[in-house]
Chain A
């Protein structure tokens, strides 16, 4: 008895079409214009072609597996897997967020000296995964059919070796720059693992959500008050009460960040005037949103506060170990001239002129904006900042060459 080849021939054609769609998908002008981003996208494209090769191996194996009744369910399953690969690839290359947001995420990784192959992807929420992680989850406990189809392992290993992190943003928020700092949270998941922060902190990991709170605090300490504002405003979109296993609910999570903002408010005299205003505005925004949840899960809120107390010292040390200054140190050290940078962004924003300033200055200055900033404006500012960084680097290098 042999399997009716018809459904598998059709699946083969479908896989070939999907392969063609992935292979021939033309990147946009804005994606192509930055070589580093184009390289990332082309490398990820290669991973998806390997991914469809894995499924083609499964298809070949099942074609020779002498299936009778299970023939069509298997064909249907393979078909849905193929559609999934195409969808997963398009999450990356058709992402609507401005391409310059790559510079922002790259900045986060570089500052923390954490090498990572990453791409941005459009999804249902802010989260991160890897290409290998996604295919592995789909194929967990689903061995490739034997004896045919065993090459699937070879392609899987290739994906694992050349793996890419996919940092998802919430598709609805592609044009809400005040939520983009939440991407730092996803980057920090990588840093948290690679730098083994959990074991450095020696926290009592009795609750599975503690890493989320720790990451929030590290991210806010680095990026400044705007991180707390981002999280607070984003919670309006998903007002979950009661929390989840992996995450505490809104009230406690914001309460942790309010501790940080509260500490900064107490030391406000040390900050330049503009930064003081940013801290005050941020505290007010977060506090107003938190007040709706203040009576919720008081015990968890107290636990979060406890975690904050324990973590802030080591978090500052961690920044130091990376040669970084926390936002607090950075703003104090910059003094009034840095304060003027914040003011400059605010006035440029009103005039619609993109500002070539460090993302920490740019995004925190946005807190002072009365209305939500235009996302194109923020994208253009990131581009201008990135180009100014490149020029500065070229100048430094030429000076070094001249000196030597």
Chain B
């Protein structure tokens, strides 16, 4: 593993990675709920930056929209409006600290062990970007620069522009992500209906009639 030259991309990677880690540490160390949420947003936002550096624009935008926005909603409606003062500051006892530290250490050692077991030497040279779509079509993007939205959307419809299905025609590979997508959609619908049912049931029990 040779030392990478410090190009702009590498420097930016270190910056985003450092902000992600510092944000995560900030979540653990701060005791105010709102500050915790703020550090969580910093951490999630800069991991979205890491996605952008991988040219995964759609995933990065989704990270901003769902996780950063979702954390915000969680913070406001889940924590700030439902608690009455005493939970705004979270002070953990030493026993909890030891327990959480042990769990964190176990997860970290598992991740660390699996990371160092991979032979990364093959990935130090950059793989040339091939455009799966028709390259005669002129687009506004430089080739392969983050225009992942169309291949992703087509995959959800069952078309795979990134795979030569003619070659794998006999295999049992699924052609797309239509079925998993539909399953996830139905799952979310069930959760939504369940949530609204629970909210209504509580109100009915408390009402006069």
**Does A associate with B in a complex?**
no
Chain A residues with a Cβ under 8 A of chain B: none
Chain B residues with a Cβ under 8 A of chain A: none
